[in-house]
Amino acid sequence: MNQTQKYKTVITSEHKLFDLHLKETLQYRDLIFLFVKRDFTTKYKQTVLGPLWALIQPLLTTVVFTIVFGNLANLTTADVEGDYVVPGFLFYMIGNVCWSYFSSTLNSTSSTFLSNRGIMGKVYYPRLVSPIATAFSRLITFGIQFALFLAVWAFFLIRGGTSIRLSPMPLLLPLLLLQMMVLSVGCGTIISAATTKYRDLSMLVDFGLQLWQYACPIAYGLQLVPARWTGLYMLNPVTPIITTFRYAVFGFGYFDLGYYLISWGVSIAVFVTGLVLFSRIERTFMDTI
């Protein structure tokens, strides 16, 4: 009998390029749950307000956006032409909640190898467990913030005086959330694979995310973008996510199926590229990190 047949798990650096250990990763779902619990509790450990910061952060950010971009800069919050009335506070809040999940997941995933090198050097487990756990732990925070948004949304809906209406578009919300997860994890894994050799990239992540944020219609409506640049602007994969999110919760706005499908195509391509690079780098990252 071959010696390798005596063992249930054989750890080796030799595997095919597209051998991503997805089945093995699924078998470690209990570990994913433990990592999710660890990440969430560690984030608010030894803080006075604890998980309340998940509510305070979007509220403060939304207030700042409302004052600076809404009142002082007076930027439009319209995605399409028409006499639609949408409260600026709601407009900025949904954009910030979505961007907060995307950016925090990307930022944390991009440092997967650096932040987990201690445990990765001592214990074997499928390395994809770490970025997956990061995405799900940030999903808890998103759920809290989105629940707060729904409470504020219900307040404005009951009070009246707005163009908010119910539509079938909220059925797309789970798909939009899945796309944000796929895109953020894909971008994060690409960066994490590169930072094992080029640490400078980790210094540029926050700066890059800030630039990316202002390249998305979060602080302003799509109508602010000149018509001749709209096609190029919509190629940003985050833009259709944000505009469709607003369409779903407000009942009106901008939705183009073609641009949305392109956004999904880019998200999947980035995700697959990230997984392949991640799988390739994980074999030797302990030698270079």
Q: Residue 148 pLDDT > 60, yes or no?
A: yes
Q: Residue 248 pLDDT > 50, yes or no?
A: yes
Identify the sign of the CA torsion 156, 158, 164, 169. positive
pLDDT at 1: 47
Residue ranges per structural domain of the chain: 48-288
Neighbours of 173 (CB within 10 A): 14
Q: Which of 10 and 157 is assigned the larger pLDDT?
A: 157
Categorize the per-residue pLDDT at 283 as very low, low, confident or very high, splitting at 50, 70 and 90: low
pLDDT at 19: 58
pLDDT at 15: 57
Q: List the single range of 78-82, 95-99, 269-273, 283-287 with lowest mean pLDDT.
A: 283-287
Mean of the pLDDT values across residues 149-157?
92
Q: Residue 20 pLDDT > 80, yes or no?
A: no
Q: What are the Cα distances from residue 105, in Å, to 66, 72, 132, 136?
A: 25, 31, 10, 9
Mean of the pLDDT values across residues 30-36?
84
**pLDDT tens digit sequence for 182-233:** 999 999 988 888 877 777 677 788 888 999 999 999 999 999 999 899 999 9
Q: Percent of the chain at pLDDT above 70?
A: 85
Q: Residue 243 pLDDT > 60, yes or no?
A: yes
Q: Residue 96 pLDDT > 90, yes or no?
A: yes
Taking the C-alpha atoms of residue 75 and residue 17, their distance in angstroms, rounded to an integer, is 48
Residues 144, 114 contacting (CB under 8 angstroms):
no
Mean of the pLDDT values across residues 224-245?
93
What is the amino acid identity at position 76?
T
**pLDDT tens digit sequence for 36-87:** 888 877 777 766 677 788 888 889 999 999 999 988 988 888 888 887 888 8
Taking the C-alpha atoms of residue 287 and residue 190, their distance in angstroms, rounded to an integer, is 18
Query: Could you tell me the two tokens for 81?
Result: 């032409």
pLDDT at 244: 95
The residue among 99, 255, 136, 273 whose CA lies nearest residue 191 is 273
pLDDT at 93: 95
Query: Could you tell me the two tokens for 62?
Result: 């939304």
Q: Residue 28 carries which DSSP code?
A: T
* C-alpha 178, offset from chain centre: 9
